[in-house]
A and B are shown apart, each in its own frame.
Chain A
Amino acid sequence: EAGVVQSPRYKIIEKKQPVAFWCNPISGHNTLYWYRQNLGQGPELLIRYENEEAVDDSQLPKDRFSAERLKGVDSTLKIQPAELGDSAVYLCASSQRAGTDLLGNTIYFGEGSWLTVV
C-alpha cells in the first residue's frame, strides 16, 4: 500500500516569493494534516481536514498561508509571500476518520517537504 506522498522534497526560494507543496494521502484516509517542523523541535499542526472541510486551522498564519483539499483527496499548502522564518520541513499526514479505535487514530506521515527561504 502506498504511503503519504509529498512533493517537492526540497525547495529553495528567495524571500517574498511564493511556494506550494502538494500531498496525496493514503487511499481511504478521510483526515489530512499539514504540520510544520522547525529544526530541533517536534511537529506542530497547521491545519486539519476532514474530507474537504478544514476543521482545525487555528495555527495557520492566514495572512500568508493558504491550503485547500478539493474533492477531499489531494491537498496543497501555499505560502505567499515566503519569509525567512518559514524555513522548515512541512509534513503532510493522514489518518482514517477519527473514531474510537487505535487504527482510526493512527496518523501516518509523508517524507516531508524541506523549505529553505534565503
Chain B
Amino acid sequence: AQTVTQSQPEMSVQEAETVTLSCTYDTSENNYYLFWYKQPPSRQMILVIRQEAYKQQNATENRFSVNFQKAAKSFSLKISDSQLGDTAMYFCAFRPGNAGNMLTFGGGTRLMVKP
C-alpha cells in the first residue's frame, strides 16, 4: 500500500514571498503520478499541478512548481509570489500507474498567506 506524508500541518507566508510545502511518499511502484490539489474553504479540490514519475523535468504551472526527487520519494510544491487567494489547504496525492489504481492523499497542509 502507498502512503503519502505531509509533515507540515500549517504554514504561513507573507504576500509576495515564496513558500515550499513538503510531501514524501512510500511506494514500490516505478510508474506513478503525483499531484498537488488546493482546497479553499469552499471545499472544492482544485488541481494545482501534476507530475509523471518517469519524467525528469519538474512540472511548472505559472507561480507553482515542484521539486520532484524520485530517489528520495519527495514531491515538494513551491509557490512563488504568494497571493492572498493562495490561502487554502494543500493536499499532495499519489496514484500508481497500474490498472485498478487508487488516488491516495496526504493529510494536508494549511497555508495562510498574510498581507
Contacts and interface: CB of A to CB of B under 8 A. Distances in A.
B54 to A, nearest CB: 10
A45 B106 contact: no
Contact of B107 (A41, A45, A102): A41
A17 interface: no
B102 interface: yes
A42 B43 contact: no
Contact of A91 (B33, B45, B52): B45
Contacts, number: 57
Interface in B51-84: 52
Nearest to B96: A105
A112 interface: yes
Interface string B27-53: 000010101010000111111001010
B4 to A, nearest CB: 8
A74 to B, nearest CB: 19
Given A42-B91, A102-B50, A89 B103 contact: no
A42 B33 contact: no
Nearest to B55: A102
Contacts of B95: 105, 107
9 contacts: A45-B103, A56-B100, A56-B102, A100-B31, A107-B95, A107-B103, A109-B45, A111-B42, A112-B45
